[in-house]
Amino acid sequence: MADVLSREEFVLLLQDEIGFDITADDLRLTFDELPEWDSVHLLTMLVLLERRVHRPLSLPDFLDAASLESIYEMVTR
Amino acid sequence: MGDSPIRILSVGTALPGPPVDTARLAECFGMDQLWRQWVDTFIGTRTRYLSVDLASGEVRHDLADLGESAATQALARSGISAEEIDVMVLGTATPDTLMPATVNVIADRLRIDGVPTFQLQSGCSGAVQAFDVASALLATGRHRTALVIGGDVIAKHYNVKADLSALPPSELVNYLLFGDGAGAAVLTAGDRPGAPVVRSVLTRLSGLDRRPGQTLRWYGLADRDSAEAPASEDYKAIEELVPVLAEEVAEELLDDLGWDRGEVDYLLPPQLSVTMTEKIAKRLDFPRATEISCVGDTGNNGNALLFFQLDRLLREMTMPSRAIAVAIESSKWIRSGLALERV
């Protein structure tokens, strides 16, 4: 059974472990609106999320995600 | 160039150990499928070669070892003996020691002595810079045959026990992009019909008001516990600026030589990573040119890269034909390029 990850925990992970200056409201912004975001952050975040939810994630599933919100939904679905 | 054309007689290369594929690298660092998928998608490098043994952390080769091997191969292929080398230039970002200069250690092993030797502290433009220095010295007429070497060994920055998931992105990329290797070329001002002629060598510092895109620090007794990362990259700046500088180099070389893009038969683009190289080659848009790249197999081995490209070029280059090479150093930003012709 995968662990549940709350939206608040997701934001904290982005803030504290990736060092991303972001609020819960920013999750809906598209990646085009987050100029700091890049593929290395994506990797770091997914590795951390895997550990948090205790199940393997697959990168291709996330490549078309338009926002952090959609990544959160995919991980917690 | 001067009246007497400078020609490349031969190229030699050296790689340490067996190729390390991404799966092996991932296994070593305890990373999983996600990580391999990311390297495949965003870096594209299939294999790299490392002087450090991943299982034990033991460093098995240094730059002098690789430089000596590459130079020995280049000399054997040129039909020139070490005694005939009358000037030597090495480009590297990672000398084995600051003193003695690694170029002189390699010279000693090759039994080269009593000639001028130079070592450039250089990054990915280092091979072109070394060509520039050697060509200029040959053009003076004071020297006839030069041995040019480029190489890097990143063992010092490769901690096999590192927790990659805990590294900031600016340090993580170093583990994914780079590899070790060395290359060498024999250049001559003598007459050797058929050997590719160096038509132009261009190196330009392009760092005014630009922050370094890559930083390698060195430490001594007083500061060896420094909290600063020994190796870090501003990969976003690199991603943005390298294609622009590469385009500038291609334009300048073509303008200087009066060559049209369509008259170039071989393109040797900058070798940052497979994905970046593809992007840059597309942007440079040489319609007839065969692309010669190596980074997918060698990894980014810095000062050695151009020699691996030249090694393949020399094997494939038809006569007559023209080749353009472009290399960009992203530390304090140096754009560089080389134009070769077989006539």
Question: pLDDT digit string (tens) for B101-139?
Answer: 999 999 999 999 999 999 999 999 999 999 999 999 999
Q: Flag whether B171 is in a domain.
A: yes
Q: How far is CA B47 from the centre of its chain?
A: 16
Are B70 and B14 contacting, i.e. CB atoms less than 8 angstroms apart?
A: yes
Biggest CA–CA distance in chain B, Å, is: 58
Tell me what pLDDT residue A3 has.
63
Closest CB to B34: pick one of A38, A41, A59.
Answer: A59
Q: Flag whether B2 is in a domain.
A: no
Cβ count near B223 (within 10 Å): 10
- Give the range of the structural domain holding residue B94, as residue numbers without chain letter: 7-188
Q: Flag whether B175 is in a domain.
A: yes
Same domain, B202 and B338: yes
Please identify, among B128, B163, B188, the residue that sits at the C-terminal boundary of a domain. B188
Please identify, among B162, B188, B214, the residue that sits at the C-terminal boundary of a domain. B188
Q: How do residues B72-108 score in pLDDT, each as one tens digit?
A: 999 999 999 999 999 999 999 999 999 999 999 999 9
Q: What residues pair up with B215 in beta bridges, in sequence order?
A: B232
Band the pLDDT of A1: cuts 50, 70, 90: very low
Q: How far apart are CA B157 and CA A18, in angstroms?
A: 22
pTM confidence score: 0.93
Query: Which one of B33, B38, B234 would you mutate to disrupt binding with A, by most A Cβ within 10 Å of its Cβ?
Result: B38
Q: Which residues of A touch B165 (CB under 8 A)?
A: 44, 47-48, 51
Q: Flag whether B41 is in a domain.
A: yes
Q: How do residues B136-167 score in pLDDT, each as one tens digit?
A: 999 999 999 999 999 999 988 888 888 877 77
Number of domains in chain B: 2
Same domain, B113 and B217: no
Same domain, B260 and B334: yes
Band the pLDDT of A4: cuts 50, 70, 90: confident
Closest CB to B169: pick one of A41, A50, A59.
Answer: A41
Q: Flag whether B206 is in a domain.
A: yes
Q: Flag whether B119 is in a domain.
A: yes
Q: How do residues B34-79 score in pLDDT, each as one tens digit?
A: 888 999 999 999 999 999 999 999 999 999 999 999 999 999 999 9
Query: Which one of A43, A53, A54, A61 would you mutate to disrupt binding with B, by most B Cβ within 10 Å of its Cβ?
Result: A43
**Are B34 and A46 in contact (CB < 8 Å)?**
yes
Please identify, among B139, B159, B188, the residue that sits at the C-terminal boundary of a domain. B188
Same domain, B84 and B183: yes
Band the pLDDT of B3: cuts 50, 70, 90: low
Tell me what pLDDT residue A47 has.
87
Residue in chain B nearest A18 by alpha carbon: B168
Same domain, B127 and B177: yes
Same domain, B118 and B264: no
Same domain, B165 and B268: no
Q: Where are the alpha helices (DSSP H) in A1-77?
A: 7-12, 39-53, 68-76
Q: Of B146, B80, B78, which is closest to residue B118 (Cα–Cα)?
A: B146
Query: CATH number, domain at B121?
Result: 3.40.47.10
Q: Flag whether B67 is in a domain.
A: yes
Q: Flag whether B114 is in a domain.
A: yes
Same domain, B181 and B203: no
Same domain, B182 and B253: no
Same domain, B86 and B179: yes
Same domain, B46 and B63: yes
Same domain, B41 and B173: yes
**Are B169 and A38 in contact (CB < 8 Å)?**
yes
The answer to whether residue B118 neighbours chain A at the CB level (below 8 Å) is no
Q: Indicate if ipTM > 0.90.
A: no
